[in-house]
Structure 1
Amino acid sequence: MAISLAFLSLAILTASSGCLSSDVVADRHALSVTRTDAAGIEIWHAVFDGGGDEYGTVIVPVSDGGLIVGGSVKQSPGSDGHALLLKIAEDGRIEWNRSFPARYGVEAVAAHADGSFTAGTGDGSLFRVAGDGTPLWSSRVSGSVPGVSGLPDGGIVAAGSKHERDIWVAVANDTGSLLREETYPDLGRGRALGVASASGGGCIVAGTTDSHPLWVMRLDGEGNVIWSRTFEEGPEFIGVMLHRIYSVREKPDGSVELLYKVGRALKGEEAGGSITVDLTLARDGSDMSVTEFYMPCPVVRASGGGYACAALESSEGNGYTMGNHLGSPIHVMKCDDRGEIVRVSAGTEAEVEIVTDILQTPDGGFAVLGGSTKT
């Protein structure tokens, strides 16, 4: 069955981490997590309302079957913002929440083998909490930290921007002490948006610059560049912008997988669309495969192949979108390896106004991060 997907304009897509434009953040919101089975049928729906304006940006799995949510909270429109971490149990109970002074919220979270978590924020902070939410350490490190990945020894590799200009990558130990940090001005003005640890003590970093919508580089254990690639869009496109890197990882054979979202418009179009790109590079950085498809965000690779997406009903009534102002059941879409939709769930009992992240759980189900305006 063919399904029309509602395009979001490039103006709406300019916010990072799946956020909508400012016309929805003037209200007060509560964030929510909806757990479904493999068919997209709701198992439970948890809402966090701390009395302020709460917004979720990223959700990651925990080894005990629970979930960690990163986001932001503001107690009033004129108050300072705080970064937010929220732990949800496997059965949907909210176990704890912690907030930390920050101008912008959590953009990335790494879970560690000892049960602790490290988060990076949009204003350049790193902090770690124990499994019960107890703060362990915090550090101000850069201009923004939208990428964090755990290392085998309990440390982390973090990536973002320095002085809002240079691409920045750093390694810290499990107590928060910086062991190494480097900037890469040769790439131009930009920032990293995703990072993953790699074999040999190195890492894979991806992001965007003023000159290139996407770049990817492999670093060795000392922070030296092994290879670097930039990727361009065709001359028929305008307004090209990398909005989000859903995932970056090194596969066992050393190749690199990236799943990301880019916004672009054809020349002459008033509104563009969001394109999901699945890119695989060989160990040496050479091209292996690329798949592009139109899909409302957010998207995750599905176990057994293909993709899954969490979407809402378009308020215009002509398809699906990541956000609306009326509220909608969450529909989990399953796609094949080409990005073609093969199944759309009937929709959850709970309704939300925005979906910002999705992950697949070990049982084949899904957890969807969203939010709604408070009444």
Structure 2
Amino acid sequence: MLDQKEVAEEVFSGTKPVEERHRFDEARLAAWLADHVEGYQGPLTVEQFKGGQSNPTYCLITPSRKYVLRRKPPGKLLPSAHAVDREFRVISALNTVDFPVARAYALCTDDSVIGTMFYVMSMEEGRVFWNGTLPSVPKEQRAVMYRDEIETLAKLHNLDPVAIGLADFGKPGNYFSRQIDRWTKQYRASETSRFESMEKLIEWLPRTVPEQTHTSVVHGDYRLDNMIFHPTEPRVRAILDWELSTLGDPLADFTYVIMGWVMQHDGRASLGGVDFRELGIPDVDEVIEIYCKATGRAGIPDVNWYFAYNLFRLSAISQGIAGRVRDGTANSPRAAEAGKRAEPLADMAWSYAVKAGA
């Protein structure tokens, strides 16, 4: 019997047979791989990864190596969502500066191959952790792993987008204003019910946006279960899931990360309420110190506005998942559960907005 600390890894880790709704012509894919992926040699076996809410992700197994395929889901989609072409572009750019990402092999924009756009990257072997307390990791390694997670984020934020060919990967300035507008539109497009807290956030957030002082590549969903750690060493080997990446304010990424230190631990990545010293995990002040030292910042401004924004965005994303459940295009069998989080997240966001002066 699995205990609560193990259940997340069991539910979300590993592969499964390809779901019926996500199947495609594997022979057609194999022919495309032979033409577009250097060194590819079949025969090909395809499995589907269990984790993920957004883009169906597959393990491509050949006699000599494994690959990963990420595709847009079939069916009706929200505008600008499921941007696998943007994922491919940013991973390709980061390949040039020895940043820990998978190797990008090829992008296919021809829907006739498997039904939707997709890209292929290397399969990076290692460990994915869904439980922020890291129960399967020796206590003495946990602080090292969290330090590397934060320093890797700082490394991303310290990169010059122009120097790595991403000068036009996002619009300059006004990042939070543009994101609030984007997620408001996404929320409206998939609205299944009206949340009073969300309505107040949609009115308040645009009026109170803090000044943007830095622009960098931002990941957009930087969290523990979106990274692969080395199989035996306490270091990050690859950052995954770049669907929401763009140019923006690095504080969006960092405050999203530290929000995990205050949201109540439920067996997943969040750490609120745990005994950091007993677990050997750095507390939020130590995490802020690590990030500021690595990026040359004097400190982090009051986080309540940023927490309100991040929770607003998560609520909009959850509402999008609920909309996909309604429309029959949701990727994960746990999507209905995720969609139900939209209103509680909006309520939590408004509580932080109140702390920020709303």
Normalising by the smaller structure, the TM-score range is under 0.3
Normalising by structure 2, we get a TM-score of 0.26
Normalising by structure 1, we get a TM-score of 0.25
Q: Which has the higher contact order (CA 8 A, sep 6+)?
A: 2
Structure that is richer in helix per residue:
2
